[in-house]
A = this chain, B = another copy of it.
Amino acid sequence: MAPRALAFDTFGTVVDWRSSIIRELEEFGSDLGVHRDWAGIADDWRAGYPPAMDRVRRGELPWTNIDGLHRMILVELLEAAGIEGVDDAAVDHLNRAWHRLDPWPDAVEGLTRLKARYLITTLSNGNVSLLTNMAKRAGLPWDCVISAELFRHYKPDPEAYLGCAELLDVAPGELMLVAAHASDLRGAKRAGLMTAYVDRPLEYGAGRRRPSKIEDGEFDVMAADFVDLADQLGA
C-alpha cells in the first residue's frame, strides 16, 4: 500500500549537520581569533542533545525547544573550552547555526520529485522556527512544517508520530517516516507508521560510519538517498 504522506526527519537525514556546524564554529573561532578542535566541539554539541531531551522527557526540565536545549549545551561547551566573555548576541547567532544547515546533495532534487506525488512534511525534533528558517535558506520544498514542538513530545515518543498523522488528517498507517536513524524509525513503526530508511554514511564524518544494526525487512523501504527513494516510491 502506498503512503498518502511522507514525514521527514531532518538532522542527518535531510541536512548534513556535522559539516555545517563545523563550518559555523570555524567562523565563530575566526571572528574571535581562537583555535579549538571545532570538529570535536560539533560532535559534542550533537551528542549533548539526546540526554538534554531525556531531561525534558523525565520532567527534570520544563518543556524546552531545541533552540533552548542547544543553547544550554553550547554554553557548557564554550565554558569547557575556556572560551569566555562572548556576548549574548554572538552566542545566539552561533546557536542558530542549526537553522543554517546545508542539505545533502540529493535532498532538494529528491524532495522536489517526491512532492509532485506525495504530501511532504518535516517531522523533526527541531523547533518550527529552526525548520522554517532552514527550509527557506536551503530551498527545501516542504508542503508544511511539523515539529515535535507542536506536541511537546520529542521523538521517539509516540505522541510525535501520532500527532503528525492527526494534523495531516491521515491514519498512522498512511504516513511514512523517512529517516537515517533506526531508533526514530522503530518509534514510528511502534506508532503504526510506514517506514523508509535512508542511508547517510557521512553523517558522523568520512570514515566514521556507525555500525548498522537493522534487521532484514525491518523497514518498508531501504534507500540509498532521496533520489533513490523517489525512484522506489514511483515519484
Q: Identify which of B133, B136, B168 contacts A129 (C-beta below 8 A).
A: B168
For this chain, the copies found in one complex come to 2
B132 touches A144 (CB 8 A): yes
A-B contact pairs, 12 of them (CB 8 A): A119-B133, A119-B136, A127-B167, A127-B169, A129-B169, A131-B144, A132-B144, A135-B143, A136-B143, A143-B145, A144-B144, A150-B150
Given A127-B169, A128-B168, 20 further pairs, Cβ under 8 A? A67-B169, A119-B132, A119-B136, A121-B132, A127-B167, A128-B144, A128-B146, A128-B167, A129-B169, A131-B144, A132-B143, A132-B168, A135-B143, A135-B144, A136-B143, A142-B144, A144-B145, A145-B145, A149-B167, A150-B150
Closest 4 CB pairs of A and B: A129-B169, A144-B145, A128-B167, A132-B144
- Report the contact-size class of chain A (Cβ under 8 Å from the partner): 20 to 34
Closest chain B residue to A133 by CB distance?
Answer: B119
Closest beta carbon of chain B to A110's beta carbon, Å: 18
Question: Given the complex, which residues of B lie within 8 Å of A168, measured CB to CB?
Answer: 128-129, 132
Instruction: List A residues 126-184 near B (Cβ within 8 Å).
Output: 127-129, 131-133, 135-136, 142-146, 149-150, 167-170
Question: Given the complex, which residues of B lie within 8 Å of A132, measured CB to CB?
Answer: 119, 121, 143-144, 168
Question: Given the complex, which residues of B lie within 8 Å of A119, measured CB to CB?
Answer: 132-133, 136
A150, B131: Cα distance in complex, Å: 16
A133, B118: Cα distance in complex, Å: 11
Closest beta carbon of chain B to A183's beta carbon, Å: 26
